[in-house]
Structure 1
Amino acid sequence: MSGSDGTQSAPDDGSADDGTRPAASRGYLRKPIWTSSFAGSSALIVAPDLAFAAEAIPLPFGWALSSIDVVGGATVIGAVSAALLSAIWLIREKAKIEAENVELKVRLGDATTQIDRYDALIVDKDRRIIVWDGDDNSAVLLGDLPTEAGAPETRAAFLAFGRWLEAKSAALLENAVDLLRARGETFDVVIETQRGQLLEAQGRVSGGRAFVRFLALGDLRAELASLKAERDRLATTMETIQNVLDAIDQPFWVRQADGRLLWVNSAYAHAVEAVDGEDAVRRELELIGTHQRERIRMAATPDRPFADKLSTVVRGNRTIYDVVEARSTMGVAGMASDISDVEAVREELARTLRSHSETLDHLATAVAIFDREQRLQFYNQAFQKLFGLETPFLETRPGNAEFLERLRVDGKLPEQHSWRDWKDQMLAVYQSVEPQQNFWYLPDGRTLNVFATAHPQGGATWVFENLTEQVDLEQRYNTLVKVQGETIDHLAEAVCVFGADGRLKLSNPAFRVLWGIGEAEAQPGTHISTITRVCEPAYPEDDGWRNFSAIITSLDEERRSYSGRFDLKTGLILDYAVVPLPNAQTMLTFVNVTDGARVEKALTEKNDALRKADALKNDFVKHVSYELRTPLTNIIGFADLLRTETTGPLNPKQAEYVEHIATSSSVLLMIVNDILDLATVDAGIMTLERSEIDIAELLDEAASLMSDRLKEGDLTLAVDAPAHPGTFVADRQRVRQILSKLLSNAANFAPEGSQIQLRCRREAGDIVFSVSDQGPGIPAHMLQTIFSRFESHGSGGRRRGAGLGLSIVDSFVSLHDGRVEVDSVEGRGTTIICRLPAGSRLETVAAE
């Protein structure tokens, strides 16, 4: 249909062009409008040009037309023709457009119906969809969620998930949406609103668009989702608990119902020396022993968990655990706390308390401890003994006030004018910060120093110190000081005491008289320099009071005693002593030894003279011994020569005399040899030629040497030695002499027909020789001198020698670093024991 302005108007079908129509349709409707306009414009342009043709054109019937009229008519005819052609074309196009419009309307209706059908299928009250087109941040929301879910209606509020979702769900959804739009990762999650409602969110990608669909779950699905969320929460909680348990240092374990390990923490794995918890579970490593696990299994019930202390070995060390294990129908969970240190501290505390109790119980000072209820908690024996209280009364744990009342009734407390005030004053210690001290003067004459100290946690400790003896001692001390003062004043020795500052503390009259000091100079407080000046004229320049002054006023940490003697110019000889006293004091004592020194000098001179005489005697004996050996050797030689047949026969009398000469000469030679041996020992020039000695051969040799001597006295020798005594290292000749002297001494005193015993044994690395006889024994007063030289002991001996035998034995045994012992009882015989080191060195030792 054409408008008044020559344009084609849109069909009035009730639909407006809201931009939803196809672009081709809109272009088609505008084309006729453009054509019509173009035709009109051409006519307007041509008409003015025709106006300039003024020439007329003749026509039939007498009509004459000018050129202008022809042009005008042609123009009109052209215009009408063009209009007709345009109208015909427009009519045909209109019919075609109307047909297309009808078809489009049909299609639009079908599409609208289909969209409504899809909207009905997709969008309902329990579902909402968010659509993002590509990277465009604008989103389209479709559908609605239930009101009880608490989801906002507006798009901006709905997309702010943190405002209406629980924080964890909001964070989960935002992260899932970001991954969906950025990477196309789909998701299906269950989220929870702030009102506690559960929703299912599904993310998908299709055609370059991202869709997120929110579904309100039904009862069964909601319950399933709730259970799933609860399971997730429980799994998260369990994981958190396991992480916490894995971080603690106490072993923790979970067991199945059959007792097999299900899970253990790192502390458990470390205790059983496993790599980790899984390794401990796989290898079924147990922390607690089988017997103790059985005990736990028998004791633990669902209503009453097991809790007790158990001991086990962890990594090689004995460990005490405080074990708690709870049991349920599904399994068992347990934890062990290492209380080894706590138990050690508890035991140490118990030992300390016992030690303190024992210590306090052995103290002579009475101690009583009251608890916070002021009842007796501890007392020692001194406390019970001090007040004479019965054990049954003390075991009832009487209160402090009751204890005081009991002492008052027994008359063991000081008499007080106001008993109540005094008792309240004594018991005020429980509210006092500072300790209290009081003196109790008991009716029986005893004096007690009472200390009461409150405890920070309550209670108090009472200490009763019996000062009776101390007071008595003080009185006695004061008396003693007076007595000592009087004693010092009456001593014959001069005594004075100086302090660390060098000032005089006390002195006696003998000191003033000895040094000629007046009472003014001897007053306490006088400095030693003053006394030095007074006494200086009496002593030599290099001795005396200058040295005393240096000793007394020195600052040496080690204070020592000094003593000595000096001669005064006055002719007196004094012995002095410097003695350090407590409190850095020093005492000087002086004794006049003039007469004693003179006597000592005379005795010393006499002793020197005696020593010189003894030396002359020894020299004389030594020289005479040497001089005697030559003629004795000649006599012995000629006597032996006379006994041989070469010199001719001797009559019996001559033979007897020659025999006596030979015997006497041998004895004399033995004496001379003994004297020479002792002289050699005294001179320190005797040497030992050590060698390995066969003990059996030595004993046989000693027995053979004594055979003639034993026959003279009708004696027998019994040798007692092991079957194989072995060897030892010593000087063979000297040991033979030792045994010979011992056997000779025994043979000299043994009764006729008796037996002499020679024993040998080993004791602790020593060779012990002993010789016993049945003689008269040695008197007790002579035992100290039996080893002295030229001393003949005892009586009744067959031969009286020079008294050198035992002296030589003692000297030779000492040279071998041994010792000699004598066991003798008068009337029961004598045993002499020689202990010689077995030795292992072959060397020469000189006598000292």
Structure 2
Amino acid sequence: MSVNKKNLLQEANSRGGESSGNNVSTASGQRKQLRLRHALRALLAGSTFAGSAHGILAQEAGPAAVKLFTSTEVVVSSLVVGALGAALLSVLWLVRQRGNMENETQEMRSALTDARQQISKYEALIADKNRRIVVWDGATSKPEFLGQLPVETGAPQLDREFLAFGRWLRPGSATELERAIEALRSDAHSFDTVVETNRDEILEVQGRVSGGRAFVRFIALNNLRAELAELKIERERLQGSITLFQSLLDAIEQPVWRRDNAGRLAWVNHAYSDAVDAVAPTQAIGEGREFLGTVAREKIRASVTPDSPYHDRVSTVVHGNRTIYEIVDVVAASGSAGMAIDVSEAEAVREELKRTLRSHAETLDHLATPVAIFDRDRRLQFYNQAFVSLWSLDLSFLDSRPDNNELLDRLRGENRLPEPLNWRVWKEEALSVYQALDTKTDLWHLPQGQTLRVIATAHPQGGATWVFENLTEQVDLETRYNTLVMVQGETIDHLSEGVAVFGPDGRIRLSNPAFRALWGITAEQAKPGVHIRAIEEACVPSYDRPDGWRRFGQILTNCDDERPSLQGTLELFSGLILDYAVTPLPNAQTMLTFVDMTASARAERALMEKNEALRRADEIKNDFVQHVSYELRSPLTNIIGFTDLLKTPGVGSLNERQAEYIGHISTSSSLLLTIVNDILDLATVDAGIMQLDYEEISIDDLLDDVAMQIADRLQENQMTLEITAPQGIGSIVADPQRLKQILLKLLTNATNFAPEGSTITLTCRRDATDVYFSVSDSGPGIPQEMLSTIFNRFSSTPRGGKRSGAGLGLSIVESFVQLHKGEVRIESRPGAGTTVSCRIPSAVTMRTIAAAE
């Protein structure tokens, strides 16, 4: 019994110790545990004491006393005491558990508060505009979004559009990011990458898995981090490019190598390792197997520069055979790189080609057709003697292997090529043969009159062959023939005469529109190949007589050796009168021509009628001139004479009004006589019956006589006449009356328009051949638009003249001057007066004219 209690105590202590060990976190929990421990020890102490007392009593009473308690009682009492102890222990344990639960609840509440504070703090950090987090809770859950990215990055602000990476990221970045997120959510593979947006912005993306959730963080980088990210992207691109180029170079058949600054091999391709009999490129690099000999390497190292790569052909041994390679080697700050191209077979082919070209050159050099061959660099490789003769170029220039472009410029400079509107475009078109697939043919019309057919053929290996075929004579013949045919056709088609040509079989070969119009037939009825019988039937409605088309048909279809020609006249039912002619042509052809004479006959009649009318008008005019000369001038002379007689004092005195009337009658009669004389003079000139009476007259006497006759008119208008002439001017051979009439008309015209009190100047001068007279006044002048009509007859201009006339004075002056074989000229400006000048040929000239007549 004591043992069981001891065990219970130890168990309680151990449990209390565990509880104490588990709840040392708080002070209140420790105090409660101490109180429970003391109560448990007191209960167990009482039970032990009772057990001890029971043992003592049993010892003192002896066997008799022991018999007082049976084993059943002892067992029952022990069970009761154990049950009470167990109940007490359960109560104590429940009390302790309740305290623990309260402590745990308090701790959980405190932790929850701390967690909420941490979450708020983290949310504040996440809400930064430079980052955004996407969270997936499970493989099928919807994503949660935290934070935002700057607008300038191009990232969508809406959650439903953010995961559409292809819309706002570069295609490569979008594909890479989608694969990384898929691996993160399915296989929990974390990642760190950098992506580019469509706006060239750099974003850092981190993918992590925590607590069964997938987190993807998008961070907008600052300047330094963005620069580092760009460098990282550029580094990845460069690494990718280097890998790609190395793979490409590793796949080609030409040996390629790269050396470091010390000249050691750093990388070679499989073709290089195969050329140096290495198993792999690493073996060739490790053992330093060289593709080229020491001399070649030293030559390359000595000649290559960063600005001038090495490019030459080198002979080396590969697989025991001497092989020629074309070496290209470049050098840079980090080392050098080179490539070798096997040109052995090309060299053999080139030698064979040279032999073939020499054979062809000997053949082409004997051709009469100019030939020029250019290589792939467009340089002259071959030319024959005909080419030299065609272009007349120096052999030294041709032997210098000029470029095709240079050759064309040289020929153009020597004016031997066509001159198109755009020389550059023409030359580019000519030189495009080097890129053409087919042969190009063109015609060149040279300034020297030559025509060349230029045939240019591109070579498969590069270069071109130019063949110049001289078509000058052929083109000239074709041009003449075509021109002749065209001229003949155009001439026949535009002739007013009807023309039809028939062959020896009686079928029509050609006809013009005039032929069809005269006979009233259509082009279909007169098309080439129609027999003359059909033409005859078509022309029957216009003319149906035996001497017409039937006779034409007999002439065209007869078998006589000599073909006669025929001419005649036909009168059609329509009233047309046609002159026809049948003319034999070469090649047994015959031409029919029909000329419409109807209009000519009508014109002839009209001309005859007009000629008769003109003749009658001329007779009437002559009769008029004669009647006026005798019938009109005589009464006027009588009137003037009687008027002058009435003015004389011997007849009787007149009162003032009668004297005024007599003055008007005298003035009007004189004016009328002047007009009649002018009209008669002009009519005589127009009729061609006026004859000049040439005689030698003194110019001084002529000027004095004119001054005396115009004196009254000048005095009446209070004007002064100034005559300017060199002394001893001599004489002139002319008609005195007409010459005096010319000067008087000019002076009268000047007095009519010059202002009162002004001076009129008459100037006379001469030169070796002519005599010049000019009359100047200070009148109102003549407008420029009226100068062209000033010599017209009956042209009376309202210029402020004192007397109005019939407008014949200047016309008579011009007519009389022209009769003297001279000329008249007028100069005038409004407000500056007028000057009329006349040129009269001198005596020597006039005698020469008279002798010639």
Structure 1 length-normalised TM: 0.38
Q: Give the alignment's TM-score, normalised by structure 2.
A: 0.38
